[in-house]
Amino acid sequence: MRWLILLIIRMYWSIISSNRRRQCIFKTSCSHYVYDQTLELGFIAGLKAIQYRYRNCRGGYMCYLNPITQRPEMVLISGEVIHEEYIAKRLIKEFSD
């Protein structure tokens, strides 16, 4: 069943050009994250990755500068805090300007 997720993502990449896709808030785009998880860990991991990104990669996040480390962090809509290495560069750039 893993091949089904991988096939759908590959079709998505070939049909929809990268400049027409919604921009992801994560450094690794949602489709690449799900593809990698599915390829490495299997079908169930791919489904969990889809669910995680669907719940978290949308509006409602908040970027801030951690007062202790002085590094950008993001609070996702789920309440999870992610650190700079997982945040899309465009958001860090906007945040630091």
CB-based burial, 21-56: b 16+ in 10 Å, e otherwise: eeebbbbebbbebbbebbeeeeeebbeebbebbeeb
Cα–Cα distances in Å, from 34 out to 8, 22, 40, 72? 11, 15, 10, 24
Instruction: Kindly list the domain boundaries of the chain, sorted by start residue.
Output: 2-96
pLDDT by residue (tens digit) across 65-82?
A: 999 998 999 999 999 999
Amino acid of residue 31: S
pLDDT by residue (tens digit) across 7-62?
A: 999 999 999 988 888 889 999 999 999 999 999 999 999 999 999 999 998 888 99
User: Is pLDDT of 96 > 80?
Assistant: no
User: Is pLDDT of 86 > 90?
Assistant: yes
Predicted local confidence at residue 34, as pLDDT: 97
User: Is pLDDT of 97 > 60?
Assistant: no
